[in-house]
């Protein structure tokens, strides 16, 4: 039996040395060690016929031979694996001296998106709903429902894009139409903000664009006063600009509020000295606002004796300019990456 073991050892060494791949080596391993018919396994099974004494002696030898054969196989296996790693090292080597390749830049939010998102978060934290409204609006919602009838001179202050052959449709000139839509849809009490694009036939300059953004706000409840209005406006400016800003309130005329105000803030671009952004006045008209006119409440389907409210129409592009110190509104639509990548 000892001789047989020596014979198997010799053959196993030769067979493993002659194998030319991992797969072949596996077959060799099977040949000697497979559970049923492996040459070594079969021999080991013969142990049971030996006497106790012999079994002890041969068992020891058998263990030695088994370890030796396994060592041949492991050695050969390592050889094959090294070859695989060498091949990978050649094909996938990293050249640490190679200069860094330019990585594609990450996208990011437009400054107007940042401002609107911040505003919406601020207002939702105060219990407001965020609403949406159509950009192609009916003349009724854009004007009549807001107490601006066809012959009213206030129509002239909003140089409107009417739709060819459809005089009853306009590109909305402000976000205020959503005030009435919101009241009609949700009734009272109501707290809502609406941000979106508005359109006017303006010639563009540092502070005017034909397409611009507003954020409208409306609160309808019982016993709403100017104190509520001013409180929310201050919270708004502090929330977005992250500092207390100097403001002034002056009377302003808008047919859909009574009384109406213009809330101006000290220009943050020039600190009040005068620049393109503030039309050289040192103040920015930021927040037209007022108490909702009874006729507008009525158009919203509510009883103006029972319900009161305030509203505001924030020029959010101008606020964005103040927040970031942008001196020309046209940058915000310019699509110039070297400008936009600063945010």
By CB under 6 A, name the one of 137, 209, 216, 264 that touches ligand DAH. 216
By CB under 6 A, name the one of 254, 283, 300, 321 that touches ligand DAH. 254
Q: How far is the CB of 257 from ligand DAH (least distance, A)?
A: 4
By CB under 6 A, name the one of 116, 174, 181, 318 that touches ligand DAH. 174
Q: Of residues 304-323, which lie at the interface with ligand DAH (CB under 6 A)? A: 311-313
Q: How far is the CB of 233 from ligand DAH (least distance, A)?
A: 11
CA angle in degrees (0–180, nearest 5) for 164-300-188: 145
By CB under 6 A, name the one of 69, 193, 289, 296 that touches ligand DAH. 289
DSSP string computed for 241-289 = HSS---EEEEE---TTEEEEEEEEEE-TTTTTS--GGGTTSSEEEEEEE
Distances (CA, A) of 247 to 227, 262, 282: 15, 10, 11
Bridge partners (DSSP) of residue 289 are 261, 312
What is the contact mask toward ligand DAH in residues 234 to 253, using x (rule: CB under 6 A)? Answer: --------------------
Task: Return the number of the residue (111 or 288) whose C-beta is nearest ligand DAH.
Answer: 288
Q: How far is the CB of 300 from ligand DAH (least distance, A)?
A: 13
Name the phi and psi angles at 46, rounded to 5: -65, -10
Q: Which of 271, 269, 281 is nearest to 321 (CA)?
A: 269
SS3 of residue 63 by DSSP: helix
Residue least distant from ligand DAH (Cβ): 313
Q: Footprint of ligand DAH on this chain (CB under 6 A)?
A: 174, 176, 216, 254, 257, 260, 288-290, 311-313
């Amino acid at each position: 039996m000892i001789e047989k073991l020596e014979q198997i050892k010799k053959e196993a060494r030769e067979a493993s040395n002659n194998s030319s791949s991992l797969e072949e080596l596996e077959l060799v391993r099977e040949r000697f060690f497979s559970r049923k018919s492996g040459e070594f396994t079969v021999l080991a099974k013969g142990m049971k016929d030996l006497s106790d004494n012999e079994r002890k002696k041969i068992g020891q030898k058998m263990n030695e031979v088994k370890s030796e054969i396994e060592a041949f196989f492991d050695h050969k296996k390592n050889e094959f694996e090294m070859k695989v790693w060498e091949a990978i090292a050649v094909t996938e080597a990293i050249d640490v001296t190679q200069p860094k390749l330019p990585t594609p830049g990450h996208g990011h939010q437009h400054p107007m998106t940042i401002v609107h998102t911040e505003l919406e978060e601020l207002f939702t934290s105060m219990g407001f709903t965020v609403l949406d409204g159509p950009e192609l609006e009916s003349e009724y919602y854009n004007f009549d429902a807001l107490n601006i009838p066809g012959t009213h001179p206030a129509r002239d202050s909003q140089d409107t894009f009417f739709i060819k052959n459809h005089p009853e449709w306009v590109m909305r000139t402000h976000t205020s139409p959503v005030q009435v839509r919101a009241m009609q849809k949700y009734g009272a009490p109501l707290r809502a903000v609406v941000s979106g694009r508005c359109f006017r036939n303006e010639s563009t300059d540092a502070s005017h664009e034909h397409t611009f953004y507003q954020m409208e706000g409306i609160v309808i409840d019982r016993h709403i006063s100017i104190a509520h209005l001013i409180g929310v406006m201050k919270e708004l400016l502090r929330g977005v600009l992250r500092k207390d800003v100097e403001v002034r309130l002056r009377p302003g005329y808008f047919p859909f509020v009574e009384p109406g105000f213009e809330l101006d803030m000290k220009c943050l671009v020039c600190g009040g000295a005068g620049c393109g952004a503030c039309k050289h006045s040192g103040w920015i008209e930021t927040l037209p606002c007022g108490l909702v006119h009874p006729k507008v409440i009525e158009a919203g389907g509510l009883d103006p004796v029972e319900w009161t409210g305030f509203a505001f129409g924030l020029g959010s592009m101008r606020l964005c300019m103040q927040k970031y110190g942008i001196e020309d509104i046209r940058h915000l639509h310019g699509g110039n990456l070297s400008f936009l990548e600063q945010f």
